[in-house]
Amino acid sequence: MDKVKFTRAQLFDLVWKYPISQITKEYNVSSFGLKNACERMEIPLPRPSFLLKANFKKALVPQLSQSYKGSDAIEIEPKGYKVKIRVIAKSSPLQDLVQSIRSDRNAPLQVGDVLVDPSPVIVRTQTYYDLENRNMQNMEDFRSILNLNVSSENIPRALLFMDALIKLLAYRGHRFDKGLYNTDTVFFSNGIEIDVNLREASRRVQTANLDSSNYLPTGRFILRIGKDLTKKEWKDTRKPLENYLAAIVAELEIMAQEEKQWKDSGESKVVKKIKAVK
């Protein structure tokens, strides 16, 4: 719906000739909008009884203030227009933590274009794939490198991303290493361990033989943390995975904290049962 436009002189003339209720009905505007417009344009309003007086004289109508410096025209929203009120959502502990990490000027939040002083596991992984290209790698080497389920052309990007993630984790006081079952694992100071897995999404393509199909890499990365019911994933979308470092680390920290609380709660229940038996 279009706004209703008045000049200062028009609006002044209307409110001193007709009741507010008649003006709002005629122009389909609210009384609040009309009075607010008059206030903004320094237009005095008559008392309700003024227009009811039979002996009303024009001489009683005041003059518009000449000191007014504002606009000579104003637009009023029509009836039925609802002002959109911005509701500020209450932030969550996760959102607060993400913001805290992002606002830390010393935090290594950028993924570089080249590896600079890479972490040991990154060096081992890079060496492994360099040797693979020359058919010189072995299984013993494989057990000490990252589990990167990505195409060979995306190994450099995966190394850059994981190196940035590992460095941010270290900055936050956590350790990244190989887990018990050759998993890529984050070790927290509270004793909690959470697995991390980086892979590349693939798409299914039907082969000439209709009974089979191939899976081709798409170039889109997916990072998963945790497992089963507690797992969380980030994917390349309009924003690449590299933009979510702070969110990933914050989620890991919250997850570790919650798992620690859950374990402590379970252990305390066991202790109580043992004491009750004794």
In this predicted structure, the answer to whether residue 203 has a pLDDT above a threshold of 50 is yes
Helix 155-171 and helix 120-132, axial crossing angle in degrees, nearest 10: 170
C-beta of residue 255 within 8 angstroms of C-beta of residue 188: no
24: left (phi over 0), alpha (psi -120 to 50) or beta: alpha
What is the chain's mean pLDDT, rounded?
85
In a domain, 140, yes or no: yes
Confidence of residue 143 (pLDDT cuts 50, 70, 90): confident
Dump strand ranges (E) for 154-212: 175-178, 184-187, 193-206
Give the residue, 255 or 17, on which the prediction is more confident: 255
**DSSP string for residues in 70-105:** S-SEEEEPBTT--PPPPP-PPPPHHHHHHHHHHT-T
pLDDT of 190 above 90? yes
Work out the percent of the chain whose per-residue pLDDT is above 90. Answer: 49
Least confident residue range of 72-81, 212-221, 225-234: 72-81
Question: Average pLDDT for residues 120-132, to the nearest whole number?
Answer: 88
pLDDT level of residue 245 (50, 70, 90 thresholds): very high
- Comparing 110 with 81, which gets the higher pLDDT? 110
At 54, the pLDDT band (50, 70, 90 cuts) reads very low
Give the residue-averaged pLDDT of 116-136. 85
Asked if the structure places residue 86 within a domain, the reply is no
Q: Is the pLDDT of residue 276 over 80?
A: no
Please give the average per-residue pLDDT across 250-273, as a whole number.
Answer: 82
Q: How many domains does the chain have?
A: 2
Which residues contact residue 100 at a Cβ distance below 8 angstroms, ignoring those fewer than 6 apart?
none
Asked if 14 and 99 sit in the same domain, the reply is: no
The answer to which of 16-20, 89-93, 128-132, 157-161 has the lowest mean pLDDT is 89-93
Residue 18 confidence (pLDDT) = 85
Tell me whether residue 263 is in a domain: yes
Residues 72 and 97 in one domain: no
Residue 86: its pLDDT value, please?
Answer: 52
Q: Please, which residues bridge with residue 205 across strands?
A: 214
Q: How far is CA 210 from CA 70, 202, 203, in A?
A: 76, 19, 16
Per-position b or e across 199-231, b if 16+ CB within 10 A of its CB: bbeeeeeeeeeeeeeeeebeebbbbebbeeeee
Residues 244 and 209 in one domain: yes
pLDDT tens per residue, range 146-171 = 999 999 999 999 999 999 999 999 99
- Could you tell me the two tokens for 271? 């202790």
Asked whether residue 144 carries a pLDDT value surpassing 50, the answer given is yes
> Does residue 72 lie within any of the structural domains?
yes
Q: Choose the weakest-confidence range: 45-54, 157-166, 185-194, 236-245.
A: 45-54
Strand ranges in 232-271 using DSSP code E only, listed in sequence order: 232-235
d(CA 252, CA 255): 5
Range of the domain at 28: 4-76
Average pLDDT over residues 40-69: 74
Alpha-carbon distance 251 to 257, whole Å? Answer: 10
Q: Which of 128, 130, 147, 150 has its CA nearest to residue 138?
A: 128
CB 230 within 8 A of CB 255: yes
Shared domain check, 115 and 8: no
Domain final position from 13, 45, 76: 76
DSSP state, residue 44? -
pLDDT recorded at residue 77: 85
Q: What's the Cα-to-Cα distance from 21 to each of 34, 49, 54, 150, rounded to whole Å?
A: 10, 13, 19, 71
Same-domain check for residues 97 and 72: no
